A and B are shown apart, each in its own frame.
Chain A
């Protein structure tokens, strides 16, 4: 798709350029910085929670109510407001138009609205810390009836603001998602066939489709719970006696909420994971100077995982009291999804095989991602298999599993992505020594936190416990392990500020970057200016002649051939040239 040149007048005032911007690159940075800011809140909350677990009773201000509020807000912030927003709103916004060769998103105004609505969602969420009763402490899953009944912190205001914030977030995510999907489908430049797209785009594209289909389930669940809370309806509320008082509800089903929540919640795991998969694929290929192994298989694996992710949701509900026969179906689908996932892991590893591996900072994070993801993935096979899940469900094994697979792994991919694309975004390199230090502490630290935690789950320690005092089956040594984990968590958290420092310092003082410092093939590295200006491509849109992974092609002068480079023999841009460009 080509835009008329006059639709791309570069905004001239500070406000239209940096604040009310419709430029996807500025919006990406706005999304990223907002997500990082709220993510820091989530990080601090996790440390407060760990203080209580590691050193119970030592910190007076952490009472049971506060602990549950930390747990809840930490979970929701990290999953929705950090990871989802950063991967789709941040990486998606920045990379999609640049990687498919578009001048911007197809709906720039909607794109701007998407960010501002997201910001509103974040502000409403943050406001819940300051209302009477504080934020909700219902756990990030917000299961009713508990979430809206006394006995849970924040049932007056906190839960209402949380649900309102989610609903607003979903509006923002929908505006963004429609944009990303339409841009990928409609605005690819000449020659950029679907099967020539970098896997990063495939991952973000598929994740956006999942988001468009999954978030509505959370939207209606949120609205229904708001009605139950504020209007006295009984969607999720059967006849209930709460704290000795009979409530007026009748006939509702708490399980209905769980189905709706996980119909969103499981695809949500892949909304976070698929962009990370894509990013890591491109990082590994670029820094191993080798084409991604089995590109077509990788694409189909992403699509298959995306499709299957909608039929596995009730593996979160094996002990929920749902019809036990569902267990057969969901255990089977869940274990089937492991096959395309495993293929992705093999192909990353086989990309390293016979490569020319440069252990740059982005590459360190990408390999750290694989290790974390493998650990998180194989523990998922325990929890997906219904009879194995039942003893482990609701224990620390689950906490360790999902933190590894959708906390640590995606965040390592995000860090890798930031170290990789920062030179394009700012025109400067991030400091490498700080980056390496950041990698080692984060990778080893998170491993030290979560690997032993699985064993507390084997032991049977239940999650979401404020204190484990006086439980005879828990040996004292478990408390020592908890203290160790807390210390690791504090150290890892502290070193994230090193990353922030690097991010800010390098923006002004970092080594100036070349336009293509890693020698990458994809379009975003072929822009006429770095950082790319408004409209991205100057006078003419790029034309794509080959797939995204022509690294170390035999006979080629350099060890990479940009996607824009025509094949020898055929005049650039002709159909013959395009036809022969397929690997």
Chain B
């Protein structure tokens, strides 16, 4: 009896929870209303089954509970009843599968007029590339990846020279225009997911995956990584900003081409120690968490860090001079900059190596107002261009 009452209460509470829950899909910001509709169909059918089965059990528990003298009915089979239930279930399944596959057909059929955007995931940040005037994306390969060429474009492929490189982890898209997103990664699996767009897809090293959607609402949307990619998985942040056509055109026009980035990088002007530090930063994995372009990574960016005044987690603040930086490298979690987790490992480095790293950070410039800004920069001044470079593939 108690169980029957409990089952009824659980069922009623579940239905009430469904209708009163403040937790529900984010407002749709893409063309995929069809997906939401299919979910609704599935919810209605399965919800009906859920309520029916639970209430039937509760009723049976009350009606057929043991009482002295009671005896169960002996009925091994009931072909007719079993047949009807099988047919009913099959119809319910078809009612969910048919619209599901219809919508899926739309999802994998990319419109011809879709603009192409490439998203590249790297532990733990997002980067983007757009085809240039020729409308084609240049060849890529893991072998071409370097500090100045994090996307791994082939410098010898002329198709790639006019490709537009987006500085930082924020992508801008035009309203009401279908977008085909091509996805790549050079390290591990990632997944490009914006809840408001509904669609998502893994990034897989060694292949190019894809999905498409049409943004239907302006605004700034968070990109989440939805495939476990290591300790920084939860903090792989980026944004998609959906704007009107003219704002998009303006943004796009200000993007540096890969050719310009390469040319600027060829002239690095680094001294010996900084050059060594730059190499170390790459080899020892520092750059997995510290960006060089002003974007917040797992750790603070190194751009404009040298000499800057930084708030600490304990409320004090500190000037990031050579001494502080050296100490922060040697004993990473002794003084934490506010807003960053204590996850940096202690790396075994010699005095000279620490000095080299500090020299490199110093070469990335003193704090300036623009350095912290998110405004797109003209090609020549793009942050990446300030860094040293080997134009050629390693």
Chain A contacts to B: CB under 8 angstroms? 63-65, 68, 137-139, 143, 145-146, 149-153, 238-246, 252-255, 288-291, 293-297, 319-321, 324-325, 327-328, 331-332, 335-336, 338-339, 342-343, 345-347, 349-350, 352-359, 364, 367, 370-371, 374-375, 378-379, 381-382, 385-388, 390-391, 393-395, 440, 444, 447, 451-452, 455-456, 458-460, 462, 464-468, 471-473, 475, 477-478, 481, 549, 551-554, 559, 583
Contact = CB atoms under 8 A, between A and B. Distances in A.
B343 A64 contact: yes
Q: 10 nearest interchain CB pairs?
A: A238-B206, A460-B195, A321-B209, A151-B230, A378-B46, A239-B142, A243-B285, A290-B72, A146-B188, A465-B234
A254 B206 contact: yes
Contacts of A64: 231-232, 234, 341, 343
Contacts of A370: 53, 57
Contact of A467 (B34, B73, B234): B234
Interface in B21-44: 21-26, 32, 34-35, 38-39, 42
14 contacts: A68-B231, A149-B230, A244-B285, A246-B145, A254-B205, A290-B73, A319-B226, A336-B93, A342-B89, A353-B64, A355-B72, A371-B7, A455-B23, A559-B71
Nearest to B77: A294
B97 A331 contact: yes
B141 A239 contact: yes
Contacts of A444: 6, 10
B152 to A, nearest CB: 7
B140 to A, nearest CB: 11
A290 B74 CA distance: 7
B253 interface: no
Contact of A393 (B221, B226, B229): B226
Contacts of B65: 357, 359
A223 to B, nearest CB: 21
B104 A393 contact: no
Contact of B206 (A239, A386, A451, A452): A239
B96 interface: yes
Given A370-B57, A391-B200, 17 more contacts: A64-B231, A68-B233, A143-B189, A152-B230, A290-B73, A297-B77, A324-B107, A349-B53, A354-B64, A355-B64, A356-B72, A357-B66, A358-B66, A374-B50, A388-B38, A444-B10, A477-B22
B292 to A, nearest CB: 12
Contacts of A458: 23-25
A378 B54 CA distance: 13
Contacts, number: 347
Contact of B17 (A246, A295, A452): A452
A456 B202 contact: no
Interface residues of B, number: 108
A335 B285 CA distance: 45
B191 interface: yes
Contacts of B147: 244
Contacts of B42: 381-382, 385, 388
Contacts of A290: 72-74
B371 interface: no
Contacts of B234: 64, 462, 464-468
Nearest to B54: A371
Contacts of A451: 14, 17
B3 A359 contact: yes
B5 interface: no
B233 to A, nearest CB: 6
A241 B195 contact: no
Contacts of A367: 3, 7, 57, 61
Contacts of B288: 151, 243-244
Interface of B: 1, 3, 6-7, 10, 14, 17, 21-26, 32, 34-35, 38-39, 42, 45-47, 49-50, 53-54, 56-57, 60-61, 64-66, 70-78, 81-82, 85-86, 89-90, 93, 96-97, 100-101, 103-104, 107-108, 123, 141-143, 145, 147, 152, 183, 186-189, 191, 193, 195-196, 198-207, 209, 221-222, 224-235, 281-283, 285, 287-288, 341-343, 394
B25 A146 contact: no
Nearest to A285: B72
A289 to B, nearest CB: 5
A394 B187 CA distance: 20
A150 B124 CA distance: 12
A378 B22 CA distance: 22
Contacts of B57: 349, 352, 367, 370-371
A355 B60 contact: yes
A390 B142 contact: no
Contact of A242 (B23, B45, B187, B196): B187
B189 to A, nearest CB: 6
A320 to B, nearest CB: 5
A245 B284 CA distance: 9
B82 A294 contact: yes
B110 to A, nearest CB: 10
Interface centre among A145, A253, A478, A481 (most CB of B within 10 A): A145
Nearest to A64: B231
A145 B54 contact: no
Contacts of A549: 76
A139 B66 CA distance: 47
B72 A551 contact: yes
Contacts of A253: 206-207
A457 to B, nearest CB: 9
A63 B343 contact: yes
A583 B200 CA distance: 53
Contact of B283 (A245, A289, A459): A245
A459 B195 contact: yes
Contacts of A288: 64, 72
Nearest to B201: A319
Contact of B100 (A145, A385, A394, A478): A385
B74 A335 contact: no
Nearest to B70: A356
A455 B73 contact: no
Contact of A320 (B70, B104, B204, B232): B204
B206 to A, nearest CB: 3
A36 to B, nearest CB: 26
A388 B207 contact: no
A388 B100 contact: yes
Contacts of B82: 294, 297, 343, 346-347
Nearest to B69: A356
Contacts of A146: 188-189, 228-230
A118 to B, nearest CB: 28
B268 to A, nearest CB: 17
A460 B60 contact: no
A61 B56 CA distance: 48
Nearest to A291: B76
Contact of A553 (B50, B74, B231): B74
Interface centre among A245, A481, A551 (most CB of B within 10 A): A245
Given A332-B97, A339-B86, A386-B100, A459 B231 contact: no
A339 B93 contact: yes
B204 A321 contact: yes
Contacts of B187: 145, 149, 151, 240-243
